[in-house]
Amino acid sequence: MMTKNAPFLNDTVVNAVCLGQFNDIFSVLGMHSSPEKNGLMVSCFLPEATQVEVLDAKNNRKVATLDCLDQRGFFNGKIPRRKNRFNYLLKVTYPLTVIEINDPYQYDSVLDEKDVYLFNEGSQLQSYRFQGANWAKQQSTTGVHFCVWAPNATQVSLIGDFNHWDPKKHILRKHIASGLWDIFIPDVTEGMYYKFSILDSHGNRVEKSDPYAKAMQAAPGNAAIVAKNTEYCWHDQNWLVTRKANSQKPTLASHAQPMSIYEVQLASWRRKGDNGEHYFDYYDLIEQLIPYVVDMGFSHLQLMPISEYPFDGSWGYQPVGLFAPSYRFGDADGLKAFIDACHQQGIAVLLDWVPAHFPKDPHGLARFDGTCLYEHQDPRLGEHPDWDTLIYNYDRAEVTSFLLSNAYYWLSEFHFDGLRLDAVSSMLYLDYSREHDQWLPNEHGGRENLAAISFLKRLNIDMYQAFPGIDMIAEESTAWGGVTQSTEQHGLGFGYKWNMGWMNDTLSYLCRDALYRRYHHNEMTFGLVYAFTEQFILSLSHDEVVHGKGSLIAKIPGDDWQKFATLRAYFGFMWAHPGKKLLFMGNEFAQRNEWNHNQSLDWHLLDYLPHQGIQNWVKSLNHFYHQTSALFSLDNHHTGFRWLDCHNEDDSVLVFARYGQTEDEHVIVIVNMTPNVHHGFRVGLAKDCQYFEALNSDAAEFGGSNVCNTKPIIAESLPWQGLPFSGLISMPPLATVFISPKNSQQHKQTKLLDK
């Protein structure tokens, strides 16, 4: 303990303390050397107390009885013949009880100068370890260290269960240079609710939840919650070691491996209760979601945002508690157990992360200390007109530390395998979705958000360095160049970019009647013009099945036979196309209705054969994809793809080859997007050998009409489509067919669901 100077006490000081208006509270309360330098003095403020005694914490012996200087609860007294401060307890008598408390004002700050420096510099990756509510020890006493950044506040108090939400009882210590406020409180238990009561320079007091809260109360309370004082015991060390090791080997690194992502919103994948009124918790999901993902053959699970969000309808994209796993599905240990179980089953887990904006909820970050602290003050920089949300001020070093630390937190504390960044386009452009007079140019007169660009580069550098083998993914919908180029090459440094152009073009094609698709053939082929300019993920996400867009199956014209056949053909084209794959939940069994976040998916549809067929087709595509290196190992290079026929718009047929590391590793893909059957359809073949049908979306087991190629396809010495050999196949209606030199029985994985 450091020696404290004696406080200057008079009626004005005492009155200010009693009114909760004295800001430098640690200079008055606690233990100090006495003015006469011949002992120690203790002051405390304990409303409604009738007597206060000071006990030596070592032996619980009384060393002083304090005088009541003000009936509102201000006590003060001298401890003679003691020069050095010591750990003490206050024995407090109330009208109906007597309790012993550890006086929080006897403890020094535990903030580390280096941590604080890095935070103010904008390079702190672990600010959650000293901000928020963190368990700590002071002089063998266990308690919680509370800390918050509020540089423009005139006073910050901690309010909660432990002090009857009274802002006068626990006023924090201000560190003027850093803008941090902190206090160590011993008498706190896990699960207690708390907030920060902040007094701004105009005398206005607001109650804010903790920006670094690791758990939060549901609305309308919205308080932060003191987290558990225990560590989760992980069992995925082999996974993490292998992930890191593979990242150093080109053939085992992410870009050369299959990636088939199942995007899930945990609140609506499946529910329980008589009327589906209850969410699955993480342990329900361990039992049901993980086996389903494994059986379906997906390699990755992507969770839509799970940081605490008050409004269900935001789907998590307007988070208030960026460090708090949502209460809806359980606690932090439950989430860790879920990810742990995924890893043990070979499933990587990605998190949808939202660093582009935050909502205006009064208990959140908006005008946090009475000023625009996390956001820009000028609405032309600080507000999203489309979403009525606020934009982070990436120019501010402490905001950068906040966001970097949050990314680090999820990857470190929860072992996520990567982050998918939402709305990156809105971060890159100052004029994003704005009229000409609604934005401000950058210092060079341009529309690029230089601070956000710098942040994104720093984020990717730091996260890839700290967690080798993870994947950083950008949802970026414009033609911004170099999203997945390294920062050394002046790129943004992401590992992947969602291919929004491919998605928009091909879904537009899908919505057209088969009769008119010949006039829009380019919508299926144009994606190959730029397919290798970035590291792409082909995404059919939640955004494509909401807000009146209809489900995938509902977008397709025609009767049910055409709808299901077309969707199977389209999925086959997607899995064969260069780029990793992402499919939103429900699409894998042709959910008919738009996604509704308020209810479970329509699992009853699997009672019907057409929906079973779609599900079996996606399952078979995943298994075939993972076993066929030609479909993934050169996703990012033009040598892995070759058009054989991209000009047959009259028949709406596409033919192309996919190659692995050698030309011997190849698959030929034929896509027919009309209801017409083509018998004796000639395709080019690369080798003088027999080819076999490996997968056919028209097979009966997938709900098709079973126009299949049961016999080998014989290579003839007849050049075709630029290849030296060719052969004849039967081309079924609205179908995708894969043929390869390998026997089809080595590839087929068409286990039907047990019914």
The catalytic residue positions are 422, 475
- Reduced to 3 states (helix: H, G, I; strand: E, B; else coil), residue 459 is helix
* Structural element, H or E, at residue 293: helix 282-296
Q: Which two structure tokens, joined as six digits, stand for 256?
A: 């050369």
**Strand-pair partners of 724:** none
**Helical segments of 511-590, H only:** 522-525, 552-555, 560-576
Q: Which two structure tokens, joined as six digits, stand for 303?
A: 């969770």
- Residue 97: phi and psi, rounded to 5, are -160, 165
Q: Which two structure tokens, joined as six digits, stand for 387?
A: 């979403």
CA dist 668 and 676 (Å) reads 20
Query: Among 616, 596, 592, which Cα is nearest to 604's?
Result: 592
Tokens 């050998």 -> residue? 689
**Strand-pair partners of 79:** 40
User: For residue 602, which amino acid is it?
Assistant: D
Biggest distance spanned by C-alpha atoms of the chain:
109
Hey, how many other C-beta atoms are within 10 angstroms of the C-beta on 111?
18
- Reduced to 3 states (helix: H, G, I; strand: E, B; else coil), residue 337 is helix
Beta strands in 161-313 (DSSP E): 173-175, 180-185, 193-199, 205-208, 224-225, 260-264, 271-272, 278-279, 300-303, 307-308
CA dist 635 and 288 (Å) reads 32
Distance from chain centroid for Cα 290:
18
Query: Among 581, 583, 563, 495, which Cα is nearest to 535's?
Result: 495
Q: What is the DSSP letter of 165?
A: T
CA dist 748 and 738 (Å) reads 11
CA dist 597 and 314 (Å) reads 9
- Reduced to 3 states (helix: H, G, I; strand: E, B; else coil), residue 190 is coil
CA dist 120 and 179 (Å) reads 9
**Strand-pair partners of 351:** 303, 419
Contact between 527 and 564 (Cβ < 8 Å): no
Inter-helix orientation angle 609-627/282-296, to 10°? 70
Contact between 629 and 637 (Cβ < 8 Å): no
CA dist 215 and 218 (Å) reads 10
CA dist 130 and 116 (Å) reads 9
